[in-house]
Structure 1
């Protein structure tokens, strides 16, 4: 969420409203959601959504539902078509959150970066590890478990950005080259949990 807030701020938004995902919220029909949250709280002149947008209980409403409700409630709905990108396979695909999630989970981080428009980033607190990497001559920084999508297990080339807070990390200017390992270290323990570790490829870090 901190990364999303930072990126939206970079685009110059004035206000960001984040709704807590509760059972009550998820049980609202599309019409009730529009009335209770969009009309009463925001009172917009225009609402912009993508063509695959769904909302309301059971994802029962789509962009066409929103257009109909907007006409009734006095706001315009502008539908944005999904952008198409060319992937490393030569395939032309429409960008969607499902496409990006599938590419990350299958380890296609370069294609995911093309779809997102920037490299994918994992943000989290550095936590103590077992010191195995240091013993082998490759010390690593271990990232705490995160609710973000974790790419498929493997070793990736990337960068590390350091800060005291998530906001500091998002706005960090220095990008430090690193080798990123995502895996379960089954060599040391067959039931080792999934870990995300970065071996920083720089001796002196300011």
Structure 2
């Protein structure tokens, strides 16, 4: 049936739109989403994020290591209150949009009543657009709400700060700003089976290029198999294993305490880092290595508040 052209058309429902890169979805990002929702509690909250990291297109090779992969970022944004997450593929074409083009092509189709951004937000070709530019372009179309950076311990929470803490092995400091332990996710691959021979079988996760991981060292934390609820205590090593010379790339190796019955090869697991125990050391013999791993396991129990086996 042909619709009468005079029939009133339904007005698209408005939304609150939040824009940002949101790598890590740290406490500052969570606060931004909460403050955005408070501007109009009855409207759906739509988050616009970019993939890949814009810097990888603007100046390839200078992009920072990512704190989260895209699926984890989307999941965290939804957990923080997003009704919908729109991923804008960042290309050279998008990089060349003027601020006005960015607003017309990215924001207006979402029918924003309010657009919320962080105080340091820039957009458009050569980052020419600022929060003030956004206000000018939105005049008569949408309101702009600017949210200032969150602070923890007198330090402004940002993804750069979290990366810096991780690079020094300061996972507890990173957790303060993230609002949760730092998580590294990946598919378990076959290693040299050395951990099993030593009595401490590990799940091995190669650290992918372009992704952040804690600095070399040994940590206490948890391992969760994707899709399963059980969180298992783990002693975790990050690095190239200096005792042996055949591990050229950085690997996250997680030994689940008191478990030698797990078959995790080919499965996606999540490793959450709670506290750094020590730096990596080159051991002269297997006996001293095994003794140290045993001590690391006991220290892991203490950190995680578990009783000794």
Counterpart pick for 1:160 among 223, 226, 238: 223
2:249 is aligned to 193
Question: Does structure 2 retain, via aligned residues, the 8 Å contact 1:186–1:192?
Answer: no
Q: For CA contacts below 8 A with separation 6 or more, give which structure has more relative contact order.
A: 2
Q: Distance in 1 between matches of 2:78 and 2:136?
A: 30
User: C-alpha offsets along residues 166-188 of structure 1, whole Å, 9 cap, x if unaligned?
Assistant: xx2xxx43211111111012332
1:97 is aligned to 159
Q: Distance in 1 between matches of 2:207 and 2:257?
A: 23
1:63 is aligned to 131
Structure 2 residue matching 1:16: 3-state secondary structure: strand
2:213 is aligned to 150
Question: Does structure 2 retain, via aligned residues, the 8 Å contact 1:155–1:182?
Answer: yes
Q: Distance in 1 between matches of 2:120 and 2:138?
A: 17
**Pair 1:82 & 2:138 matched:** no
Q: Distance in 2 between matches of 1:32 and 1:194?
A: 42
Q: Distance in 2 between matches of 1:108 and 1:160?
A: 19
Q: 1:202 to 1:136 in 2, by over 3 A?
A: closer
Structure 2 residue matching 1:122: 3-state secondary structure: strand
Q: 1:60 to 1:181 in 2, by over 3 A?
A: farther
Question: Does structure 2 retain, via aligned residues, the 8 Å contact 1:53–1:62?
Answer: yes
Q: Distance in 2 between matches of 1:130 and 1:98?
A: 34
Structure 2 residue matching 1:121: 3-state secondary structure: strand
**Pair 1:14 & 2:83 matched:** yes
* Structure index of larger Rg: 2
Deviation at 1:56, TM superposition (A): 2.1
Listed as ranges, the gaps of 5+ residues in structure 1 are: 87-91
Deviation at 1:119, TM superposition (A): 0.9
Structure 1 residue matching 2:199: 3-state secondary structure: coil
2:122 is aligned to 54
Structure 2 residue matching 1:102: 3-state secondary structure: helix
Q: Distance in 1 between matches of 2:238 and 2:247?
A: 15
Q: Distance in 2 between matches of 1:54 and 1:135?
A: 53
Question: Does structure 1 retain, via aligned residues, the 8 Å contact 2:169–2:216?
Answer: yes
Q: 1:76 to 1:202 in 2, by over 3 A?
A: farther
1:179 is aligned to 235
Question: Does structure 1 retain, via aligned residues, the 8 Å contact 2:207–2:213?
Answer: no
Q: Distance in 1 between matches of 2:77 and 2:127?
A: 25
> Size of the alignment, in residue pairs?
192
Deviation at 1:46, TM superposition (A): 0.6
1:25 is aligned to 94
CA RMSD of aligned residues (A): 2.1
Q: Distance in 2 between matches of 1:109 and 1:60?
A: 35
Q: Distance in 2 between matches of 1:201 and 1:57?
A: 51
Give the TM-score taking structure 2 as reference length. 0.57
